[in-house]
Chains A and B, each alone.
Chain A
């Protein structure tokens, strides 16, 4: 019984690993750019397809796609940011929401036309197949790997934001964008880099998902709504909030799936409603942010 519970918590953490990576990217982007990036799910999907195509076309091993696909996704994101998004920064944030929503649909449909709805298979590398025994439990090796990479990526992001000059500017611009400029800080210079970094995290989540989940054009669309709910629960733009909430929601969903299956998909929205009633700024948001 307790073993089963532990396994479910573990599976929940692995799902949470994807949520954390995705919502972390969204939070970083929203904080700095005030853009609600609706194409985040589509870019996650491109990350998964990137891994698949790099392997299928050029025989690149999984390990290299782990690096190359997020960079590709970041480059694609950068092109959209420079060509389109930046034109709308001065407008109401609804405009960029609509733009990225449209781009998400366009990317998704383009991939559907080329690859169909069925999706494509992608295997885990041989080294990560099988299971690892920890105490009385058997954990699938690949899932452990996903969890580890996600935690490392989140810690790395935290380090960047907490300890570097770029992170200092990101924190300042997130909290008080106008004043930060009025202190002579060149905020705009960092915007493309921050956007690229945020979508690279989505790309990384996509690569990690490729061996575990069906690589299909709609894989991101299924995920993005939950991810947005997580960002709201964590507090818009809160780095810590998005990561912690990502893992919490992953675990709650997994437990819900076992103990009360019909509500499993509702868990996140019930949580969102409850949190917003008590703390309108989210778990880790500050009331005066933005």
Chain B
């Protein structure tokens, strides 16, 4: 279980997060939903240890992550797929998959990765940045599965993708869930979010304001869309 309690974060003098609290149970897919600039990406970066200027508590299965380095947090099984996908131009697709060390017994084998993402086998020798946007997104997800992440932090995986690819990403998230992995998903696309998630955490101006079950979000979709300004 991931627990975030009263998280605050600053960029220089400016406070980006005021009070973010959320819980994601093991095997659950939860989203962070909110407008641009609400603090979604900052929350993920804080969990990953990439943002140092913070207060509050972040814990994974009881282990306090708050003061750990990104490297240590990764080795505890947290996989981060950042919003720009974080693909290297100087590494081939295969090298992307070989870069992270296997941090747990959950680490997917290359065989399994290629089974779920056949396109990556075909493109194994390509430089990462030569892939299409959707392929890059799959590579970024595959990379942390290969590492053996048990908690995946996905920052807008569907952004800029065509509908068929969005559908494919949805299937992949379902697949991840079927493996009893935990997902915290940042998503602007509320409709997509409701097709994959169990719970939704609404965030506004650096505060988590509501924590809703998926059915409730589906029922209140119009109201929430308005709220999000979409």
B100 at the interface (CB under 8 A from A): yes
Answer whether residue B181 sits at the interface, using C-beta atoms and an 8 A cutoff.
no
Verify if A152 is at the interface (C-beta below 8 Å from B): no
Known: A171-B91, A175-B90, A286-B89. A183 touches B48 (CB 8 A): no
Please tell me the number of chain A residues within 8 Å of chain B, measured between CB atoms: 19
Q: Is A180 an interface residue (CB 8 A)?
A: yes
Question: Is A278 interfacial (CB 8 A cutoff)?
Answer: no
Interface string of B137-171 (1 = CB under 8 A from A): 00000011001000000000000000000000000
A184 touches B101 (CB 8 A): yes
- The interface bits of chain A over 181-192 (1 if a CB of B lies within 8 angstroms of the residue's CB, else 0) are 111111110000
Most buried by A among B49, B69, B71, B90: B90
Q: How far is the CB of B199 from chain A (nearest CB, A)?
A: 25
- Interface magnitude class on chain B: 20 to 34
Residue numbers in B under 8 Å from A186 (CB-CB): 71, 101
* Cβ B80 vs Cβ A182 within 8 A: yes
Residues of B that sit less than 8 Å from A by CB: 48-50, 69-71, 73-75, 80, 82, 86, 88-91, 95, 98-101, 103, 143-144, 147
Q: What is A's interface to B at a CB cutoff of 8 Å? A: 168-169, 171-172, 174-176, 178-188, 286
- Given A171-B88, A175-B88, A175-B89, residue A182 in contact with residue B48 (CB < 8 A): yes
Taking CB atoms, residues of chain A closer than 8 Å to B82 are: 179
Bound complex: CA A168 to CA B103 (Å)? 18
Given contacts A176-B86, A184-B75, 9 further A-B contacts (CB under 8 A): A171-B90, A175-B90, A179-B80, A182-B48, A182-B73, A183-B74, A183-B80, A184-B71, A185-B101
Query: How far is the CB of B148 from the nearest CB of chain A, in Å?
Result: 9
Tell me whether A183 and B147 are in contact in the complex, defined as CB-CB below 8 angstroms, given that A168-B95, A178-B70 are known contacts. yes
Known contacts A171-B88, A175-B89, A176-B88: does B50 contact A183 (CB below 8 Å)?
no
Pairwise interchain contact A185-B95, C-beta atoms closer than 8 A:
no
